[in-house]
Structure 1
Amino acid sequence: MRFILRRIGFYLLAFWVSITLNFLLPRLMPGDPVTRMLSRSQQRLEPQQIEALQQMLGVNGGPWWQEYPDYLRRVLTGDFGVSISRFPTPVTEVIAQQLPWTLLLGGVSLVIAVVLGNLLGILAAWRRGGLLDSVAPPLLVFIGSFPYFWLAMGALYLFGVMLGWAPLRHAFSVGLTPSWDPTFIGDVAAHLVLPALSIVLVSIGGWMLGMRNTMIATNAEDYILMAEAKGLSPSRIMLRYGARNALLPSVTSIGMSIGFIVGGALLTEVVFAYPGVGYQLLAAVQGLDYPLMQGLFLTITAAVLLANLLVDLVYVRLDPRVRVA
């Protein structure tokens, strides 16, 4: 219980730090968001309009110690302000429209990479020196050395432009209305193949190599030798004794890898014009939409922290030694 309370306290502290940085960064930059927007758009506004914009963005020139409590209150109540590029839509509504697509892309990619990578690592370590162990790790690590967006552009050109096997852009075809209809679900799955494939190919090598190395060390433990001496079947020893204990480091890595998956998904979404958080973040940067940028940054940070907290709670269940720490 003490371990869980310590981890919750740590993540609450990290979330507070991220909120504070999110508050300070626009205020530490030269000038203010309103001035930079007006200089880029070359529009002339009345002083009352400029003051209203500054008030809406929370940068009305007051002392930070007066603005900070109000900013904390608004963030904790889910009020990120109004999006400038999609005025007058609230930032929370914009994020709510885009976040499910990023969760779909990142979640599907992560599950496939973790399951397939760990399974390949287990088989490679159990049959050490075999064909799978000799060929797959270096090949997948070589593919994983390419950036997400480079592989995404290559897959888009080969399978989308040249062969025409997959859609080129967006999350579903134009003219379809989002629903739980099998036709719409199938169309979404078809649009998901290439973006997810590019992320899986880049990340699966690391999962396989990590599981392989851990599994090799686990195979040398005394309880594996005892299981073999008892005459248990090789498949049972591999899965129930070896893989079960070798999975613990992989569970920890899942939480840390979520940040990398989300980062890769951001670039992949831009390549495929996938309507997720990454594509919306690019539009917010191009449109100098500071409330939306702050809301997106904080949402991504909160999602990564929450995922790591859930992983820690699962780890307590899987490893009894942590409970007495």
Structure 2
Amino acid sequence: MAYLTRKLVILLLTLWVAATLNFVLPRLVPGDPVSVMLAKYQGRLDVAAVDALKIAYGLNDQGSALSQYLAYLGQLFSGNFGRSISLFPSTVTEVVARALPWTLGLIGITTVLSFVIGSALGLYSGWKRGSRLADALTPVALFLNSMPYFWFALLILYVFAFLLRWFPLSGAVDPFPGPTFSPPWWASVLRHAVLPGATILVTSVGGWLLTMRNNVITITGEDYIALARAKGLSERRILTHYVMRNALLPSLTSFGMALGFVVGGAILTELVFSYPGLGYALYQSVVNLDYPLMQGLFFIIAFAVLVANFLVDILVTVLDPRTRSGRA
């Protein structure tokens, strides 16, 4: 319990630091979002209109820096991230609400699948090392892990979407797929998700495979594995109760980080396929200098990573009794 309490305190402290940096850093950049908006649309407004826009974006100079900071924290933790500049008058919350389901559906599912498939193949490769198939998985994993996923995305997009025309070139759904959640709509969503999902799955499974394989090889060399064999335990029991459980523990932290960054989306993959997720929205916010949207997305990503790691810490306490006793 003390272990999880300490982790929770660290989570809250880190979240506060992330929120503070989110407040400070944009204010160190010359200019402000209102100036960017006026320059982009070549707008000419009177002083009162400009002041009204600055108040709407929380950029008015009224009050001290401390009072602005406290007001910012109050709005932040109430879910008010302000209004997007590039998608005005939509709020940041509305933009996130539109993009988040696409990112969770695509990046979330493929991240979980790549972890499960890669870990299973890594477990096999490490446990059966010396066999032809198990040893052949290692160079394949090294190749997949070193392959730039945006290059692979462009390659399969050119072959399967442009040349063969089996899948759409971009987007997440056809323009007129029918009623939402109807069978034609789901079919359209799945067709659009195949290529970006395959990109993430193929290029990330190798990393999980190599990590799991190395963990298995390290654990099989431990003394307690030799003791288990000396006691006459079956190989299957040794694999499931000793090797697999302990080999998964080091990978869980990395998996928690990967799950947290799911919320940020795979920026380059979503950019290549013009997939309307949070990664694509983050790219658009940077290109258009949309500071409110950038701030909102960065905070959401930081929050998701911290929460995912905290949940992994809880899972580790269940799988590893040493953490509950405070020795880990």
CA deviation profile, 1:98-146 (whole Å, cap 9, x unmatched): 1111111221111111111111111111111222333222222222223
**How far off its partner does 1:84 sit?**
2.5
RMSD: 2.0
**How far off its partner does 1:15 sit?**
0.8
Contact 1:211 1:247 in 2 (8 A): yes
**How far off its partner does 1:31 sit?**
2.2
Contact 1:148 1:264 in 2 (8 A): no
Contact 1:26 1:33 in 2 (8 A): no
**How far off its partner does 1:238 sit?**
2.0
Distance of 2:184 and 2:232 partners within structure 1: 51
Tell me the residue number matched to 2:286: 285
Distance of 1:154 and 1:255 partners within structure 2: 30
In 2 relative to 1, CA 79–153 (structure 1 residues): closer, same or farther, beyond 3 Å?
same
Contact 1:140 1:201 in 2 (8 A): no
CA deviation profile, 1:17-51 (whole Å, cap 9, x unmatched): 11111111221111222223323433211111111
Distance of 1:178 and 1:310 partners within structure 2: 37
1:122 aligns with 2:105: no
Tell me the residue number matched to 2:112: 111
Tell me the residue number matched to 1:218: 219
1:58 aligns with 2:58: yes
Contiguous gaps of at least 5 residues in structure 2: none
% same residue: 49
2:47 partner letter: P
In 2 relative to 1, CA 203–311 (structure 1 residues): closer, same or farther, beyond 3 Å?
same
Find runs of 4+ consecutive structure 1 residues off by over 6 angstroms. Answer: none
Tell me the residue number matched to 2:4: 4
For normalisation by structure 2, the TM-score amounts to 0.92
Tell me the residue number matched to 2:252: 251
CA deviation profile, 1:56-76 (whole Å, cap 9, x unmatched): 111113442221010000001
Distance of 1:284 and 1:304 partners within structure 2: 20
In 2 relative to 1, CA 283–70 (structure 1 residues): closer, same or farther, beyond 3 Å?
same
Distance of 2:41 and 2:144 partners within structure 1: 43
**How far off its partner does 1:81 sit?**
1.4
Tell me the residue number matched to 1:275: 276
Distance of 2:97 and 2:9 partners within structure 1: 27
1:68 aligns with 2:54: no
Contact 2:173 2:192 in 1 (8 A): yes
Distance of 1:243 and 1:24 partners within structure 2: 45
Question: Is 235-244 or 147-156 further displaced after alignment?
Answer: 235-244
Aligned residue pairs total: 325
Contiguous gaps of at least 5 residues in structure 1: none
What SS class does the counterpart of residue 267 from structure 1 fall into? Answer: helix
Tell me the residue number matched to 1:240: 241
Contact 2:178 2:184 in 1 (8 A): no
* Superposed counterparts of 1:153-172, under 5 Å: 153-172=154-173
What SS class does the counterpart of residue 10 from structure 1 fall into? Answer: helix
Contact 1:23 1:68 in 2 (8 A): yes
Tell me the residue number matched to 1:29: 29
Distance of 2:80 and 2:264 partners within structure 1: 25
